[in-house]
Amino acid sequence: MGNLKLKGKDILKLGYPNNQSVNIALEVMKRNFATKNIHYVKSLLKEIQQNPEQFEKDLTFGQIAEALLSSKKTEKRMLNTNRASFQIFGNNISDEAKNQLYTALKLPIATQGALMPDAHSGYGLPIGGVLAVENAVIPYGVGMDIGCRMSLSILDTPISYLDGARDKYEKALAEHTKFGMYETHKSHVDHEIFDRDTFDLIPILRRLKGKAIKQMGSSGGGNHFVEFGEVEITEEDKQINLPKGKYLGILSHSGSRGLGAEIAQYYSRVATEQCPLPKEAQNFAWLDLNTHLGLEYWTAMNLAGDYASACHDDIHRRLVKAVGGRVKARIENHHNFAWKEIHNGKEVIVHRKGATPANENELGMIPGSMTAKGFIVRGKGNPDSLNSASHGAGRAHSRGECRNLFTQNEIKKELKLKNVTLMGGNTEEAPMAYKDINEVMNAQSELVDILGTFQPRIVRMDK
């Protein structure tokens, strides 16, 4: 904690009430001003005590101000008996996933929900679940991998190079992509994101900055991937600005790495303490956006989303430098996030956990599997789906089931059949683990238009 010799009785002498505000003030000051002079620290505390309203939105002192202004006890929240309005897209969705959405729709803050056709059960909100709430954010509604996203670069390289110089593309993936918890690049870029004062304003971010720098440009484990493949533009679009035809593409899927995971764990725990709920709804604990902790999480979540985007920029930059060619178009969209949006004439917070934003004319990329085509899409802005679409094909079998159902030989046969080279990967991500992407796309024809496809050819995943 440093050298700050501050005690609770010192804070009481400044006029603080003998309640939780003293402990919070002690923790905040020792965490942020451990090396500062005690007289300076006391003068700050006195200023907050005299004018707490002025410090309510401050990222460093907001928690102290809030404790001074509020003497509310933490009361258990009850669920509503009726569900908020919702729509389910697609038929091949488990009862468990539906029931998770139904529980979320009974939250007193819920206004509307939807389930995408790739939906399957998760923790709290199901994967493929969309939930709008009033002035609050649910850390588990966003998920563990904050800002996880798809990123597609379309190059001017002739598509024939993928077969003609396959070794070069395999080598580029082997040498210039990093996966999982332990692989990192030797050289690191100086990205503007690390200059942001947000890293210094919130203690958990300050602690995680070193890890974020180290993991920049790397991908996670599980279903995260980087791949070269064949892009086919089937419908011309002003935003993509490319004629119909075939192109070489780089597609990546990953998120905010250790930074996002630790933010999610910390604020999920805090939300559960702040917002006790019945057992079946515990993972839906929320943070009010009028509170310091709500503002803190919202700020950290947005930083993690920007960091995830920066990681993809770095991945694509390294690969283009290795294989040559120029990027003619880039399509990127994220999921596992919360957005402030207007629906039914009212501002709400829309959580998309494993669901793609599909506002009118918004571009997105919906992948299939390591062997199945993915789809380049343009959103239709359907209000019934809260302007959302699926984020992939969705799992037909859980990871545990896959380990018992499929063998490496079966995966090799499927890869050979589809002319796909796989580097890394395991039975948990077998092509057969996923739903039929064509069925999923047919179930969301009201949500998106299809502009093109991406067929994987060389796929790199965690080992």
Could you list the residues known to form a binding site for GMP, using ranges.
Answer: 223-227, 335-336, 367-370, 391-394
d(CA 91, CA 394): 13
Helix (H, G, I), strand (E, B) or coil at 120: strand
Are 393 and 118 contacting, i.e. CB atoms less than 8 angstroms apart?
Answer: yes
DSSP sequence for 240-303: T---SEEEEEEEEEE--HHHHHHHHHHHHHHHHHHS---GGGGGG--EETTSHHHHHHHHHHHH
The answer to whether the Cα torsion of 419, 423, 429, 435 is positive or negative is negative
How many Cα neighbours within 13 Å face the side chain of 337? 26
Nearest residue to 103 via CA among 275, 268, 280: 280
Number of neighbouring beta carbons within 10 Å of residue 212 = 24
**Which amino acid, 356?**
T
d(CA 385, CA 448): 11
Are 169 and 458 contacting, i.e. CB atoms less than 8 angstroms apart?
Answer: yes
The answer to whether the Cα torsion of 26, 31, 36, 41 is positive or negative is negative
Beta strand 421-423 pairing with 448-461:
parallel
Helix (H, G, I), strand (E, B) or coil at 456: strand
d(CA 406, CA 393): 18
d(CA 376, CA 394): 17
Q: What tokens does 269 get?
A: 């725990």
Catalytic annotation present for 191 = no
Query: Which residues are documented as binding site?
Result: 145, 223-227, 253, 335-336, 367-370, 391-394
Please pick, among 191, 292, 351, 391, the residue that the annotation labels catalytic: 391
Query: Which residues are documented as binding site for Mn(2+)?
Result: 145, 224, 253, 335
Are 222 and 228 contacting, i.e. CB atoms less than 8 angstroms apart?
Answer: no
Nearest residue to 139 via CA among 362, 16, 371, 304: 304
The residues annotated as belonging to the active site are 391
